[in-house]
């Protein structure tokens, strides 16, 4: 029955698509078994929901083929020249399906999710990504295996294709039989989205129940998510009254009576300390890597030693799972927005940033990165928000001893930083720099002979090499005349992995924060709950700076323990942590409250709390509102009066992130 019309080709495609989808789902299921706690009912839901998404995906995918089969006349369809064209299309379709399945396996291995917005980023700007893939995987062998498998499947299907290419039909017959394939793909557009894959509280089960190709296109459609449309909201007036109550501090006073202006005048007593500030943002440095946090593999001897000599914050959380999230939180001191980071959004110029504050205080402000700064739109963002960008293009040949897909080695990066700092010192100008490392990232390569783990053997080696490079940087800095007047801040951009059984596994967001300045800061461990957005206000407090602030963060050293809170997020889910409770805001205006154990990760659902929900909504909706209405812009502390305003210049297209 399936091979009595041209559309037998579509059925043939469906069979291949479902087979490959079933295979990749099964492989990922086996890989995820330790995190799944599978039951028969859960497996039924995974495969049942997965089959539904597979069917929806293949309907979309098949639409161009269906239209072609309807429109191409018999004279062409049954001609000798048409057969090799169909052969070629069939082979490459099979190749593409197998390639997508294998690519999804490696993507899942790296990120513990199906294709999502990260994959979209990787498809847009491929220079670093392709080089990274070549350095990380046996690409030639994999492509050869895919080609062989594709050829075998094509040869198996050729006899069916030959039969189907001989079938005669009229346009009327083709329209009658093919119209169903044209109509069906449009039915799910309004009623089907990714939320249907949320079959369990276990995030691995939810990922397995989806389809990677569907997820990829869904991420492309929803790169930005409008908070007001999808999340729980409050009345604007009540929202800002609540938000102002949450942002108030003992040493601050709101600058205006404008109901929508959150700017405060921060007054610190004593003389301002015009110390240099170097913020080292370390790629993927989870707290669990440090011996100070209980790791017994001796991966971070340098950081562990520094932790004994500075301020160590032991209850600090990253706001997200991407580099741009960490940089956004550190420089702008705002909660994460749903969808993509502000750093990669349009109209992100002249935002209220740490860079502008320091520049107005007379500092030489730099963003220093070992890769190409167009990546993740970093150069554009930083150069339009109070910093001068220094990236890979500013390294001379003699300044580079090693590089890989993501940039120069951390040693090279820190050597360059010292050279930049020396120029500022010679000009009698204090410096403020945000330094972004790259070495702790696949392919995990670094200069040989530095540590006892060979290059390209895994993340542990990359972590230990980064630790080595930071230790060398501090030792080299001690030889410079500006060392005693410098504060070093070491923090992660995000954790190495954010995957867990729960929607937002809190323990997977825990990162180290170390503030080191032996001439000015006494060693201390601080266990207050804190967020990356608190770093800028805390360092400004250590400097005794008085300034106008529109930050959402607070000075950790001045708040009481019960005032601590943190923000964690994925692409869609927004988490608000207070005490041992986690409020999760999700799309479709849903929310849930949970109790968690920060050490074991155990989670227990709690009854709803209006206070927790209102606080979470106030922070997230308030931040989104200010960005959307251009109310979080920099105009200069001395010139500002009334509500904040700012330019909304368009910007170039953005690039992908890690």
Per-residue pLDDT, averaged over 195-212, amounts to 86
120-134, 141-155, 341-355, range with the lowest pLDDT: 120-134
2 falls in which pLDDT band (50, 70, 90)? low
Which pLDDT value is given to residue 234? 96
512 token code pair: 């180290």
Which pLDDT value is given to residue 217? 77
Q: Is the pLDDT of residue 112 over 80?
A: no
- The backbone torsions φ and ψ at residue 248, rounded to the nearest 5 degrees and listed phi first, read -60, 140
Q: Alpha carbon of 530 to those of 315, 493, 564: distances in Å?
A: 6, 15, 6
Q: Alpha carbon of 148 to those of 86, 153, 523: distances in Å?
A: 19, 9, 61
**Which residues on adjacent β-strands are paired with residue 8?**
none
Q: Residue 487 in contact with residue 539, Cβ under 8 Å?
A: yes
Same domain, 157 and 262: no
Max mean pLDDT among 78-82, 118-122, 316-320 falls in 316-320
Give the length of the chain: 658
- Residue 206 or residue 656, greater confidence: 206
Per-residue pLDDT tens over the stretch 587-623: 889 999 999 998 887 889 999 999 999 999 999 999 9
Secondary structure class of 353 (helix, strand, coil): coil
CA distance 211 to 634: 43
223 falls in which pLDDT band (50, 70, 90)? low
Q: Is the pLDDT of residue 69 over 90?
A: yes
Report which of 150, 273, 228 is spatially closest to residue 623, judged by C-alpha positions: 228
Q: Is the pLDDT of residue 214 over 70?
A: yes
Q: Alpha carbon of 423 to those of 47, 88, 573: distances in Å?
A: 61, 60, 44
Report which of 448, 445, 371, 446 is spatially closest to residue 657, judged by C-alpha positions: 371
- Residue 435 or residue 570, greater confidence: 435
Q: Is residue 303 part of a domain?
A: yes
Q: Residue 657 in contact with residue 372, Cβ under 8 Å?
A: no
Q: Is residue 422 part of a domain?
A: no
Same domain, 154 and 276: no
Which pLDDT value is given to residue 651? 33
Helix (H) or strand (E) run with residue 335 in it: none
Query: Residue 209 belongs to what domain range?
Result: 8-221
Same domain, 277 and 146: no
Structural domain count of the chain: 2
Same domain, 251 and 191: no
CA distance 247 to 250: 10
Q: Which of 203, 221, 239 is the last residue of a domain?
A: 221
Q: Is the pLDDT of residue 638 over 80?
A: no
216 token code pair: 């990829």
Which pLDDT value is given to residue 221? 61
Same domain, 182 and 103: yes
284: left (phi over 0), alpha (psi -120 to 50) or beta: left
Which string of DSSP letters, residue by residue, matches 559-601?
S-GGG--EEEE-SS-EEEEETTEEEEEETTTEEEEEEE-TTT-
Q: Residue 316 in contact with residue 515, Cβ under 8 Å?
A: no
Q: Which of 182, 199, 221 is the last residue of a domain?
A: 221
23-27, 67-71, 145-149, 635-639, range with the lowest pLDDT: 635-639
Q: Is residue 578 part of a domain?
A: yes
Per-residue pLDDT, averaged over 122-139, amounts to 68
Q: Alpha carbon of 462 to those of 283, 410, 446: distances in Å?
A: 10, 10, 7
CA distance 657 to 321: 11
Same domain, 157 and 217: yes
Q: Is the pLDDT of residue 645 over 50?
A: no
Same domain, 90 and 180: yes
CA distance 179 to 66: 9
**Which residues on adjacent β-strands are paired with residue 574?**
569, 585
Which pLDDT value is given to residue 435? 98
Same domain, 187 and 285: no
Per-residue pLDDT, averaged over 44-60, amounts to 93
Q: Is the pLDDT of residue 340 over 50?
A: yes
Same domain, 261 and 338: yes
Q: Is residue 341 part of a domain?
A: yes
Same domain, 198 and 50: yes
Max mean pLDDT among 96-100, 225-229, 364-368 falls in 364-368
CATH number of residue 533's parent domain: 3.40.720.10
Q: Is the pLDDT of residue 48 over 80?
A: yes
Which pLDDT value is given to residue 113? 77
Report which of 211, 210, 205, 212 is spatially closest to residue 42, judged by C-alpha positions: 205
224-238, 285-299, 580-594, range with the lowest pLDDT: 224-238
Q: Is residue 75 part of a domain?
A: yes
Per-residue pLDDT tens over the stretch 532-569: 999 999 999 999 999 999 999 999 999 999 999 999 99
Per-residue pLDDT, averaged over 121-144, amounts to 72
Q: Is residue 367 part of a domain?
A: no
Q: Is the pTM of this model over 0.85?
A: no
Q: Is residue 437 part of a domain?
A: no
Same domain, 72 and 203: yes
Q: Is the pLDDT of residue 424 over 50?
A: yes
Q: Which of 187, 221, 255 is the last residue of a domain?
A: 221
CA distance 183 to 390: 53
- The backbone torsions φ and ψ at residue 585, rounded to the nearest 5 degrees and listed phi first, read -95, 135
- Considering only the C-alpha atoms of the chain, give the largest distance between any 2 of them, rounded to a whole number of Å: 91
Per-residue pLDDT, averaged over 381-398, amounts to 96
Helix (H) or strand (E) run with residue 436 in it: strand 431-436
**Could you tell me what percent of the chain has a pLDDT over 70?**
92
Edge-first strand listing for the sheet containing 590-596:
566-569, 574-578, 581-586, 590-596, 603-606
413 falls in which pLDDT band (50, 70, 90)? very high
639 falls in which pLDDT band (50, 70, 90)? very low
- Residue 35 or residue 388, greater confidence: 388
Q: CA angle at residue 175 from 172 to 180, to 5 degrees? A: 150
Q: CA angle at residue 598 from 597 to 602, to 5 degrees? A: 35
Q: Is residue 639 part of a domain?
A: no
- The backbone torsions φ and ψ at residue 368, rounded to the nearest 5 degrees and listed phi first, read -120, 125
119 falls in which pLDDT band (50, 70, 90)? low
Same domain, 169 and 245: no
Q: Is the pLDDT of residue 445 over 80?
A: yes
């Amino acid at each position: 029955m399936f091979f009595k019309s041209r559309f037998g080709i579509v059925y043939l495609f469906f069979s291949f698509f479902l087979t490959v989808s079933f295979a990749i789902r099964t492989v990922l299921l086996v890989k995820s078994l330790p995190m799944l706690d599978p039951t028969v009912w859960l497996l039924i839901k995974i495969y049942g929901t997965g089959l539904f998404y597979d069917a929806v995906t293949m309907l979309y995918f098949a639409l161009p083929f269906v239209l072609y089969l309807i429109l191409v006349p018999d004279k062409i369809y049954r001609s000798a020249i048409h057969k090799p064209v169909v052969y070629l299309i069939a082979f490459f379709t099979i190749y593409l399906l197998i390639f997508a399945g294998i690519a999804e396996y490696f993507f899942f291995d790296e990120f513990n999710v199906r294709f999502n917005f990260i994959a979209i980023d990787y498809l847009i700007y491929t220079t670093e990504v392709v080089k990274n893939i070549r350095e990380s995987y046996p690409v030639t062998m994999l492509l050869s295996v895919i080609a062989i498998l594709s050829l075998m499947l094509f040869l198996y299907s050729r006899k069916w294709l030959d039969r189907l290419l001989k079938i005669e039909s009229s346009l009327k017959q083709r329209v009658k039989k093919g119209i169903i394939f044209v109509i069906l793909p449009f039915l799910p557009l309004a009623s089907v989205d990714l939320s249907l894959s949320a079959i369990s509280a276990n995030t691995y089960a939810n990922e397995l129940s989806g389809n990677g190709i569907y997820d990829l296109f869904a991420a492309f459609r929803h790169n930005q998510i409008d908070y007001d449309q999808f999340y729980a909201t409050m009345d604007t007036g009540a929202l800002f009254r609540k938000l102002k109550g949450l942002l108030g501090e003992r040493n601050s006073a709101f600058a205006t009576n404008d109901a929508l202006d959150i700017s405060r005048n921060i007054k610190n007593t004593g003389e301002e300390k015009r110390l240099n500030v170097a913020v080292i943002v370390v790629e993927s440095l989870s707290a669990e890597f440090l011996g100070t946090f209980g790791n017994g593999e001796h991966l971070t001897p340098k950081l562990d030693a520094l932790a004994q000599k500075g301020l160590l914050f032991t209850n600090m959380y990253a706001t997200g799972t991407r580099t741009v999230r960490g940089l956004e939180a550190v420089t702008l001191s705002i909660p994460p927005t749903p969808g993509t980071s502000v750093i990669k959004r349009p109209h992100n110029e002249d935002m209220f940033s740490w860079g502008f504050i320091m520049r107005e205080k007379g500092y030489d402000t730099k963003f220093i990165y070992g890769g190409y700064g167009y990546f993740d739109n970093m150069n554009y963002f930083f150069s339009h928000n109070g910093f001068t960008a220094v990236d890979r293009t500013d390294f001379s040949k003699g300044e580079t001893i090693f590089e890989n897909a993501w940039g120069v080695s951390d040693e090279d990066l820190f050597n360059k930083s010292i050279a930049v700092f020396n120029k500022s010192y010679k000009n009698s100008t204090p410096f403020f720099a945000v330094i972004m490392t790259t070495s702790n990232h696949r392919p995990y390569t670094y200069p040989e002979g530095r540590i006892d783990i060979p290059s390209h053997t895994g993340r542990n080696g990359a972590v230990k090499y980064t630790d080595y490079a930071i230790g060398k940087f501090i030792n080299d800095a001690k030889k410079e005349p500006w060392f005693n007047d410098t504060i070093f801040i070491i923090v992660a951009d995000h954790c190495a992995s954010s995957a867990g059984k729960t929607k937002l596994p809190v323990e997977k967001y825990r990162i180290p924060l170390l503030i080191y300045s032996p001439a000015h800061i006494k060693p201390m461990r601080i266990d207050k709950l804190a967020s990356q957005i608190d770093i800028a206000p805390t360092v400004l407090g250590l400097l005794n700076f008085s300034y106008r602030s529109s930050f959402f963060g607070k000075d950790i050293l001045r708040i009481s323990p019960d005032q601590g809170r943190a923000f964690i997020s994925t692409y869609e889910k927004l988490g608000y942590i207070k005490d041992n409770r986690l409020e999760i805001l999700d799309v479709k205006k849903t929310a849930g409250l949970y109790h968690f154990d920060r050490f074991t990760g155990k989670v227990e659902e709690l009854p709803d709390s209006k206070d927790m929900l209102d606080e979470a909504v106030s922070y997230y909706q308030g931040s989104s509102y200010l960005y959307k209405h251009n109310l979080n812009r920099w105009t200069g502390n001395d010139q500002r009066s009334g509500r904040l305003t700012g330019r909304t210049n368009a910007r170039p297209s953005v690039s992908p992130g890690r």
